[in-house]
Amino acid sequence: MPEGPAGVYPETRQSRDKRFSRLLCIFSVIGIVIFVAVVAMTVALSLSEQSVSPTTMAPDLCAGSGVVPCDNGDCIPVDNLCNGFKDCRDNSDEVDCI
């Protein structure tokens, strides 16, 4: 192979392809890491918004304050009935939903 200036060999197509493959691999890994981080943060935020800690009260204390009683005595916000999430510890908020 002919030498370039000062003993430097010209870059071959094979070495260029190998360098490109390495860069592509590095950027792919970085992209996957970023994607996983974004998904994890989205799931964490979604779960934190959905988690409502039920409070235990007598059923008559639940009435009239925007909360409803669960079968086990817990009280949850009325908006959490039949929302697809287990808000009552006994899951009674998701029974008989249409």
Asked if residue 28 and residue 59 are part of one domain, the reply reads no
Tokens found for residue 26 = 């590095």
Query: What are the pLDDT digits (tens) for 14-71?
Result: 888 888 999 999 999 999 999 999 998 888 877 665 555 555 555 566 766 788 888 9
Q: Which domain holds residue 31?
A: 9-51
Length of the chain: 98
- How many independent structural domains does the chain possess? 2
Closest CA to 19 of 8, 11, 30: 11
Q: Report the alpha-carbon distance of residue 77 to residue 65 in Å, rounded.
A: 9
Q: What is the mean pLDDT of residues 84-95?
A: 91
Asked if residue 42 and residue 14 are part of one domain, the reply reads yes
Asked if residue 58 and residue 23 are part of one domain, the reply reads no
Q: Where are the alpha helices (DSSP H) in the chain?
A: 13-50, 59-62
Asked if residue 58 and residue 74 are part of one domain, the reply reads yes
CATH of residue 80's domain is 4.10.400.10
pLDDT for 83 beyond 70: yes
Domain presence at residue 22? yes
Domain presence at residue 18? yes
Asked if residue 44 and residue 74 are part of one domain, the reply reads no
Domain presence at residue 4? no
Q: Distance of CA 10 to CAs 5, 18, 19, 20, 77, Å?
A: 9, 15, 14, 16, 72
Q: Report the alpha-carbon distance of residue 10 to residue 40 in Å, rounded.
A: 46
